[in-house]
Amino acid sequence: MLVAKYYKNDDVRIEEMPRPVIGQGEILVKVIASGICGTDVMEWYRIKKAPRILGHEIAGDIVESKTKKYKVGDRVFVSHHVPCEECKYCLAGNHTACDTLHGGNYDPGGYSEYVRVPAINVEKGVYVLPKNVSYVEGTMIEPLACVVRGHRIIGVRKGQTVLILGSGVSGLMNIQLAKLSGAHVIATDIDEYRLQKAKEFGADQVIHASQKIDRKADKVIICTGAQKAVGQAFECIDKKGTILLFAIPSVNIEIPTVDFWRNELSIVSSYGAAPVDLAESLNVIKNKGIDVNMLITHKLPLKDIQAGFRLVAEAKESLKVVIEP
């Protein structure tokens, strides 16, 4: 089968490898759609483990099954990370801190024609797609679930002011979910294309990132790796407010200690998604609470994945790029 192996952002090679052989309790999924995540082009982060086959936002068809839980022909989304449900983190509801979740994956990765889904992922991370959810929409379940988790952590609620710094794919999903919760949303970016998209996706106020923001926010969600965004977050957060590091800069950040102390500010991070977040995300997509199709600007065959990586890395007039092996 064909796979796309990542060496660095501008070197993603189409190679051949044997189709995976499944064991007891496992399934083999033919990948129909696989989204390129923004973290896949974080070269400083990804290159440490290169070469490897990336891709963790997949939807496809089960073509082989050695479990009674799912059958050949089922249309599914598969989560690459699943928790053990038994460790102290899981028992406390902190599933994304679970060592099993961090250590697991499917084989070999979503940028391939087929993936072997290990038994634990079959048991805890396979979701049958409803008839009204397409494969391409299925690739958005995991990224939207990460947003769901972030909002759950910081408690986005009706009537709050939420400032979203960065209006790429993750920023736009944060805008939509915050509006769905009844929040007043302010969004920023440095790119005019993305600022226009922020308007289209429902932001109440859209501001160029170079301009001063004259309203304090109850919650600030950082959806860009730009170092300046961290400083802007602290400038704009209201007393008792919370800053969420949804995206992270490549260097350590500085905290204005006195303001942090006197105003009782909180800064938190969110990583990945737990099963409860994935289930909620699928439900939002199924019920069209958010139309994820609006986020998808490019669909490319596997052989053109290098062009897809370039589109995502350049972050110009593109949003979500989906590979269709």
Residue range 248-299, pLDDT digits in tens: 888 898 999 999 999 999 999 999 999 999 999 999 999 999 999 999 999 9
* Claim to verify: residue 264 and residue 153 sit in the same structural domain: yes
Structure tokens at 140: 């958005």
| Residue 161 contacts residue 184 (beta carbons within 8 Å) | yes
* Claim to verify: residue 125 and residue 152 sit in the same structural domain: no
* Claim to verify: residue 204 and residue 247 sit in the same structural domain: yes
For residues 40-65, average pLDDT? 93
According to the model, what pLDDT value does residue 135 have? 98
Cβ-Cβ contacts under 8 Å for 104 (sequence gap 6 or more):
80, 81, 82, 118, 120, 121
**C-alpha span between 66 and 119 (Å, rounded):** 9
**C-alpha span between 276 and 284 (Å, rounded):** 12
* Claim to verify: residue 11 and residue 114 sit in the same structural domain: yes
Report the run of H or E that residue 256 belongs to, with start and end.
none
Q: Is residue 286 part of a domain?
A: no
Q: Is residue 281 part of a domain?
A: no
According to the model, what pLDDT value does residue 249 have? 86
Residue 83: is the preceding peptide bond cis (ω within 30°)? no
* Claim to verify: residue 128 and residue 206 sit in the same structural domain: no
* Claim to verify: residue 28 and residue 109 sit in the same structural domain: yes
Residue range 201-259, pLDDT digits in tens: 999 999 999 999 999 999 999 999 899 999 999 999 999 999 999 998 888 989 999 99
According to the model, what pLDDT value does residue 248 have? 87
Quote the pTM value. 0.94
* Claim to verify: residue 135 and residue 185 sit in the same structural domain: no
Cβ-Cβ contacts under 8 Å for 257 (sequence gap 6 or more):
none
Structure tokens at 152: 């759950």
| Overall domain count for the chain | 2
* Claim to verify: residue 154 and residue 133 sit in the same structural domain: no
According to the model, what pLDDT value does residue 113 have? 98
What range does the domain containing 302 cover? Answer: 2-139+291-324
Block residue for tokens 């929409």: 137
| Residue 166 contacts residue 247 (beta carbons within 8 Å) | yes
* Claim to verify: residue 233 and residue 114 sit in the same structural domain: no
* Claim to verify: residue 220 and residue 317 sit in the same structural domain: no
CATH number where 59 lies: 3.90.180.10
Sign of dihedral through CA atoms 224, 250, 48, 271? Answer: negative
User: Beta strands of 121-192 (E only): which ranges?
Assistant: 126-128, 161-165, 184-189
